Amino acid sequence: MAAEAPEDMTREQLLERLRTTEAALAEARQASVDGAFATELRQALIRMGASTQLAAPVATNDLLDLIVRTAAQVLSAQAASLFLIDRETNELVFEVALGESAAEARKFRVPLGQGIAGWVALSGQPVARSDVAQDARFAGGIAQRIGYVPKTVLCLPLRSGDDVIGVIELFDKANGQPFSADNMQVLEQFGAAAAVAIEQARLVRDLAQLFVVVLRGLLPGGSEEAALRQALETRAGAFTERAAQSQQYRDVLEITQLVSEISRQGPEARQHCRQLLASVAEYVRRVADRTSAGGGPS
C-alpha cells in the first residue's frame, strides 16, 4: 500500500514515513468503525423511539379493550366503560366504551366528583348502585344524552400505588339483578390487570419521549429522522397487532402483575421475590448454555 520509497530517502526518513502512513491508516480504519457504529446507534435509537411511541398506546388500548370486554362477559354486563383521569382538567376521559351506545359515550368527559364514576374516582372506594334509573340527575346527564340509562352499575377505582388513575364501570347485569359484593371482587381482578397495563404504557410512553429528546440532540437535520420514522411506522403497526394477541405478551403481563403485587407488600417481600427470580434466571441461563453447547437439558 505504501508508495515506493524514493532513492534519495534515508532509512530514518523511510521509517518515519512508514509510521505516519500506518497511523493514518489506523485512524481511517477507526473512523470507519466509529461511523458505522454511530449510524447503527442512531438507527437503533430511532427505531426504539418510533416503535415504542407508536406501538405502546395502540397495544395498551387493545389490551384494555380486551380486559373490559372479558370482565363484561364474565359478569354478564350489558355495557362497560373504562375512564382515565385527566389531571390537567380534573375530568374522566373514556378510554374504552363497550355496548350499544359506546360510540356516543366516547364523546363525553365526566368532571371528577360527578356521578358514580366521579364519586369512585375521588373516594377511591368501589361501589355498586342498583337504582340508577330512578335518579333523575343521572338520567339527565350523559346517560340520557347518549340514549342509554342503566338500571344497575358496578364501579371500581383503578389504582397505581395509592393514587387513583381511572375507573372501570359495568352496567346492567343480564338477569336484572344488582351487582353483588362477589361481582365487585371479580371486577377488582380485572381492574388490577388494567391498572398494570396503563402503568406500563405510561412508562413506555415516558421512555419513548426520552428517546425522542435524545434523538433530537443527536440528529442535526430532520430529513433522515423523518424518513426512518416513516419506514418504521409500518413495521411498528404490524408489531402492535402481533403484540396484543401474542401469548408471550400476556405471559409477560401476568408476571409483571405478580411482581408488582409482591413489590407493594414491602421490602421483605421484594427481597424474596428478587432472590426467587434471580434463581430462576440463573437456572434458565444454565439450561440455555447447555443447550447452545449442544448438550440440551438433561
- 132 or 197, CB closer to another protein? 132
- 61 or 130, CB closer to another protein? 130
DSSP class of residue 265 equals: T
- 266 or 297, CB closer to another protein? 266
Listing DSSP states for 66-127 in one string gives: HHHHHHHHHTTEEEEEEEEEETTTTEEEEEEEESTTHHHHTT-EEETTSHHHHHHHHH---E
- 163 or 282, CB closer to another protein? 163
Residues 6 or more apart in contact with residue 57 via CB below 8 angstroms: 201, 205
Stretch that binds another protein, among 4-12, 65-73, 76-84, 158-166 (CB under 8 A): 158-166
CA distance 276 to 88: 41
Stretch that binds another protein, among 32-40, 174-182, 201-209, 213-221 (CB under 8 A): 174-182
Contact set for another protein, span 32-91 (CB under 8 A): 85, 90
DSSP class of residue 161 equals: T
Contact set for another protein, span 175-214 (CB under 8 A): 178-182, 184-186, 188-189, 192
- 35 or 161, CB closer to another protein? 161
Contact set for another protein, span 87-146 (CB under 8 A): 90, 112-113, 118-119, 121-132, 135, 137
The least CB distance from residue 116 to another protein, in Å, is 8
Task: Map grid coordinates 454511530 to a residue.
Answer: 38
Applying CB under 8 A, the site for another protein has a residue count of 39
The least CB distance from residue 98 to another protein, in Å, is 22
Sign of the alpha-carbon dihedral angle for 112, 114, 119, 121:
negative
CA distance 103 to 143: 13
The least CB distance from residue 259 to another protein, in Å, is 15
- 274 or 286, CB closer to another protein? 274
CA distance 169 to 287: 45
Question: What's the burial of 158, exposed, middle or buried (CB within 10 Å: 0-12/13-18/19+)?
Answer: buried
The least CB distance from residue 181 to another protein, in Å, is 5
Residues 6 or more apart in contact with residue 21 via CB below 8 angstroms: 1, 2
Of 19, 216, 242, 264, which lies in the binding site for another protein, with binding defined by CB under 8 A? Answer: 264
Question: What's the burial of 46, exposed, middle or buried (CB within 10 Å: 0-12/13-18/19+)?
Answer: buried
Residue 246 in contact with another protein, rule: CB under 8 A = no
What's the residue count for the chain? 298
- 13 or 134, CB closer to another protein? 134
The least CB distance from residue 131 to another protein, in Å, is 4
Reduced to 3 states (helix: H, G, I; strand: E, B; else coil), residue 7 is: coil
Residue 66's alpha-carbon distances to 61, 97, 190, in angstroms, are 8, 11, 10
- 61 or 114, CB closer to another protein? 114
The least CB distance from residue 119 to another protein, in Å, is 6
The least CB distance from residue 253 to another protein, in Å, is 17
The residues binding another protein (CB under 8 A) are: 85, 90, 112-113, 118-119, 121-132, 135, 137, 159, 161-164, 178-182, 184-186, 188-189, 192, 264-266
